[in-house]
A and B are shown apart, each in its own frame.
Chain A
Amino acid sequence: MNPVMRTEGLNKRFGKTVAVDGISLSVPEGSIYALVGANGAGKTTLIKLMMNILRPDAGSAQVLGIASRDLAGAAFNRIGYVSENQELPEGMTVGGMLDYFRPFYPGWDRALEQQLVRQFDLPLSRKLKHLSRGMKMKATFAASLAYRPALIILDEPFSGLDPLVRDELIEGLIERAPETTIFLSSHDLAEIESFSSHVGYLEQGRLLFSEEMTTLSNRFRDVTVTLSAPAGLPSQLPATWIEAQTADCVMHFVDSDFKEGISERALADRFPSARDLAFAPMTLRQIFLAIAKAGRGAQAQRARERVSEENQA
C-alpha cells in the first residue's frame, strides 16, 4: 500500500525545546492512523509540520505525494484538516461558511453536504461565534468532509467534547473511512481504540513506535506469574518486559513482545516451579499507560545516574 503521508527525520525546535525529534513515519493509504501521546508530546507540532503550517528545521515530509514545504493552494482540495485550536470565520453563519467554502473545492458534494448538515443537526442560520464548542466542531467537520478529501487530518478533534457529540463525529468519520485516509491525534486512547487501524506513539518529540493496531494488541500481554514461594525480582529480565514487580508469590509485568505459543513456553521454562501463568490481552489505554510509566521510570533512572556521576566527578 502506498504511504499517503511520510516523514523522514523530521525535526523542529522552539528555542531550546525539541518539539519533534527526528521522526520518520509512514501512513498507509486507506488507514485510520491514530497518533497518540501525552499533552506536549509533539503531536500538534508534527501535524503542523506536515501541513506546511510550520517549517521543519531538518528532515522532510510528503503528503499525498507533495513535499510538505510545497503544500499550498490547490493541494488542499484533497485534504480535510480539523484542529481543536483552529480559528473559524466566526462572523459567518454555518450556512454562510459552507456557501463560502463550496466554490474553493471542485469536488464539493452538495448532496453529501446536506447529508452532513442533517446528520450533525447543524443550525445553518446561526453564526459560528454563537455556537457551542461541540456544534462548532461539527460544522468544521461538515466543511471538511463535504468535498470528499483523500486525506483527513484531525488534531485532537474530540478534545473537550461531550460523549454524544464525540460519537456523532466518530460515526460521521467512520462513514467516510472507506474512501479516504484518516490521520488523527489524540491523548484520549479509549476514543480511538474502537476505530483506528494504525497507531503511533509519541513521547517528548520521539516516535516510540508506529504499527498496525492488531499487531500492537497482539504484541502486548499483561502477564501474571504465580510462584510456589515468595521471591524477589529475578536479575537479567528481558528488555521487553516492562513494569515488572513482585508481591509475595505473585510476579507481574507487561510483555511487549508477546508471541502466541512461544512466549508461554519460554515463560514456563524460565519459571518451572510456577503454579500459574496468566496472559491477559490489554486495552490500548493499558498498553500506553505501561509504556508511559516505563518511559518515565527509565527517564528518572537516567536522571539519578547522571546526578550520581556528577557528584562522583
Chain B
Amino acid sequence: MNQTQHIFAKDARRFWTEIALSVAITAAFVFLGRYNWIGKYEPQNGSLMTLAALVTGLVPVSWWVAIARVVHEERLVGDTQFWITRPYEWTSLLAAKLAFVLAFLYVPLFLAQLALLAQAGFAPLAYLPGLLYKLLLITCLIALPLAAIASVTSSFARMALTLLGILVGIIAFFTFTSLADSYWTSDEGGSLGNRISIALVFVVLATAIVLQYSRRTVWSSRRLLIGLPLLLLAVGLFASKYEQAQIDRIYPPAQAGTPIRLEYSPDQASYETSSFEASPRAQIPIKIRLAESGVGDGLLVLIDAVRVELKAPDGSHWESEWRRVGGYKFLPGELTFSPTFLMPIAEFRRFQGTPLRVHLAVAISNAQAGQVTNLPLAPQRFSVPDFGVCSPKHGSTGEFGRTTGIACVFALHQPPLTYISTHWSDWQCSGTASPPDGSVLGTAWVGALDHEPAQFGFSPVVDPYINLSNSENNNGRGENRFRFLCPGTPITFTRYARVGRMQTSVDIPSFSLPKYSVTGNMIIITQ
C-alpha cells in the first residue's frame, strides 16, 4: 500500500461518521430533491418541498464539515503537529485528501445528480459533459474555496469564523458599493468575464493549496487568498470596460433597417413617485417611455441594453454607459415600454429644468421562431422534445385537484428561449377532457438565447417559474378567481434562436428630466 492509499485508508476509518452523515444527506437529497420541483405543481407536497430545500441546503454544509475535518486532520498551520516530522510526502498527503473528497463527496454527488435527472424524466447519461461542467463549477465555487480556507486555518472554529468574515465582507461590499450596479454584461462579454473569473479562482485557490501542502508558508497562501477578491474585482471591472469598448462590435449599427421601430411616447397621464437617499453617490433612475412596432411575423426582438446621451441648449452634455435593461421581448404587435437609465445625482441636478435633446442608443437581439411543438395538456407529466419535462400545476385549497398552470423542469440549464401559449378556461373543467373555451390566451416566456453548459448548484434540475399570463379572472366585484387549464387543451411551445445583434436609436428633440423635491435626507422623484 503506498503512502497515499495508507493516509486515505486512515482518513476513511477516522471520519466514518462524517462520511456516513454526508452520504446520508446526499441520499436524502436524492430522495427529497424531487420535491424541490414537484412541490411547485403539487401544493399538497408543500411541506416536503420545505424539507427538500432544507436538505439541499445541508449538502454544502456537509461538504464544509467533511473538507474541514479531513484537511485539519493533518493541519497545515502551526508547528506542533505530529505529522510534520514524520516521513510524509506532501504529494501523497495532498493526493490522499483529494482522493477522500472525490470518493466520499464527488462520487455520491455525481450519482445523486444522475438519479435526480432520471427522477425528473431525463436520460442522465445524455448529460455527462454538462454534469462534469457542473462539478467543475462546484469545485471552483465550493470545494476549492473550502479546501483553501481549511488549509490556512488551524481548526474548524477558526474556519467558521473566517467564513463568517467572508460572508460579512461580501454583504458589506454589495451594500456599500455601487460597483455591482455599474456593470453591464452582455451575454458574450459576461461569459468572458465569468470564464476569466472561474479560471482565476481555480488557479489562485489551487496554487494556495499546493503552496500550503508543499511548503506550509501560511502567510504566503493567506496573502494569495486575500488578494483573490481584489483580482476578481479587477477582472469584473476589466470585463465591464472591455464589453463597453466592444459593444459597437457586438452590436453593429443596423445596415438595412431594423427589425423593430422605436418611438418616443410621452405619457402625461401616469406618474410614479419614487424616493432615494440624497447621498452624493446616489444614482437616479430615469425612465423613457417608448412605443415599439414593426416586428415581423415569426420574429422576436429583445432589448438588451441602452445608452443615453443628453444635450442641453448651452452645448453641455452627459453620456451614460451601456446598461443592461433585460426582460423586454417583442413579438409582432404594438406595445409601450420604459427602459431605464441611471444618472448620477450631481448630473441630474445639473440638467434639471433644462429642455434636453436625447439620443437613446438601443442594443437589440433579433431572434427567429424555430421548432414549434403542439401538445395537448396531459393529466400527468409529459415530455416536450428539445425543451424539458412539464406537468400540469395544481391549485391549492379552493382549486384542489384542478389545473391552474403548467410547471416544467430542465436538465442542467435553462431551455432555449421558448414562448409558451395556451388557452384558459374560466370554468372548472368537468369530466376527463373539456375543450378550452378559447376566449383567453395564456402566454409565458421561459429560457434564454444563450446559456453555459450547466448552471451552478447542487441540483442538476432547473425549475424556473412559468407564469402564464391572464391566470386570474376578475369577476367585476373586485374578486380575482383562478382560471383553469383543462386536460387536452393544446399548448404550443415555440423555440427562438438568435439570428443577429444590432444597434438602433431613438432621438428625442425635447425631453425634461423628472421633477424632484427634497424631504429630509430623501429625494422624491415624480415621473
Contact = CB atoms under 8 A, between A and B. Distances in A.
A122 to B, nearest CB: 17
Given A100-B10, A103-B6, A89 B89 contact: no
Interface in B79-121: 79-82, 84-90
A163 interface: no
A74 B80 contact: no
A101 interface: yes
B158 interface: no
Interface size class of B (residues with CB under 8 A): 10 to 19
B80 A87 contact: yes
Contacts of B14: 91-92
A89 B88 contact: no
B1 interface: yes
B45 interface: no
B90 A53 contact: no
A285 interface: no
28 contacts: A48-B79, A53-B84, A53-B85, A54-B79, A72-B90, A73-B87, A73-B88, A73-B90, A74-B87, A76-B85, A76-B87, A77-B87, A79-B85, A85-B80, A86-B85, A87-B80, A87-B81, A87-B82, A91-B14, A100-B10, A101-B86, A103-B6, A104-B3, A104-B6, A104-B86, A104-B87, A104-B88, A105-B87
Nearest to A79: B85
A75 interface: yes
Contacts of B89: 73-74
A258 interface: no
3 shortest interchain CB distances as A-B pairs:
A81-B85, A76-B87, A73-B89
A72 B215 CA distance: 10
Nearest to A147: B87
A53 B79 contact: yes
Contacts of A74: 87, 89
B7 to A, nearest CB: 9
Nearest to B3: A104
A100 B82 CA distance: 12
A85 B14 CA distance: 23
A74 B92 CA distance: 12
A83 interface: yes
A88 interface: yes
Nearest to A48: B79
A85 B80 CA distance: 6
Most central of B6, B85, B86 by chain A CB within 10 Å:
B85
Contacts of B81: 86-87
Contacts of A105: 87
Interface in A39-98: 48, 51, 53-54, 72-77, 79, 81, 83, 85-89, 91-92
B89 to A, nearest CB: 4
A225 to B, nearest CB: 50
Nearest to A128: B82
Contacts of A75: 87
Contacts, number: 46
Contacts of B88: 73, 76, 104
A300 B336 CA distance: 91
Nearest to A153: B85
Interface residues of A, number: 25
Interface in B469-483: none
Nearest to B15: A91
B85 A103 contact: no
A3 B10 CA distance: 37
B82 A86 contact: yes
B79 A88 contact: no
A51 B90 CA distance: 16
Contacts of B86: 76, 101, 104
A89 B79 contact: no
Nearest to B91: A73
A81 B82 CA distance: 9
Contacts of B1: 103
Contacts of B3: 103-104
Nearest to A101: B86
Nearest to B81: A87
Contacts of A54: 79
Given A53-B85, A87-B81, A100-B10, 16 more contacts: A73-B89, A73-B90, A74-B89, A75-B87, A76-B86, A77-B87, A81-B85, A83-B80, A85-B80, A86-B82, A86-B85, A88-B82, A89-B82, A104-B3, A104-B87, A105-B87
A103 B88 CA distance: 11
A255 B148 CA distance: 59
Interface string B1-41: 10100100010001000000000000000000000000000
Contacts of B79: 48, 53-54
Contacts of B6: 100, 103-104
B205 to A, nearest CB: 23
A214 B203 CA distance: 59
A45 B14 CA distance: 32
Contacts of A79: 85
Contacts of A72: 90
Contacts of B82: 86-89
Nearest to A55: B217
Contacts of B84: 53
Interface string A92-133: 100000001101110000000000000000000000000000
A75 B87 CA distance: 7
A72 B1 CA distance: 21
A88 B88 CA distance: 15
A246 B6 CA distance: 68
A108 to B, nearest CB: 11
A299 to B, nearest CB: 29
A53 B386 CA distance: 60
B229 to A, nearest CB: 28
Contact of A86 (B10, B80, B90): B80
A184 to B, nearest CB: 15
Nearest to A91: B14
A76 B87 CA distance: 5
Nearest to A82: B85
A9 B87 CA distance: 27
Contacts of A104: 3, 6, 86-88
Contacts of A53: 79, 84-85
Contacts of A81: 85
A75 B90 CA distance: 13
Interface string B60-82: 00000000000000000001111
Most central of B1, B79, B81, B82 by chain A CB within 10 Å:
B82
Nearest to A44: B79
A74 B87 CA distance: 5
Contacts of A83: 80
Contacts of A48: 79
B15 to A, nearest CB: 10
A48 B88 CA distance: 17
A172 B10 CA distance: 29
A72 B86 CA distance: 8
A51 B87 contact: no
A301 B81 CA distance: 42
Contacts of B87: 73-77, 104-105
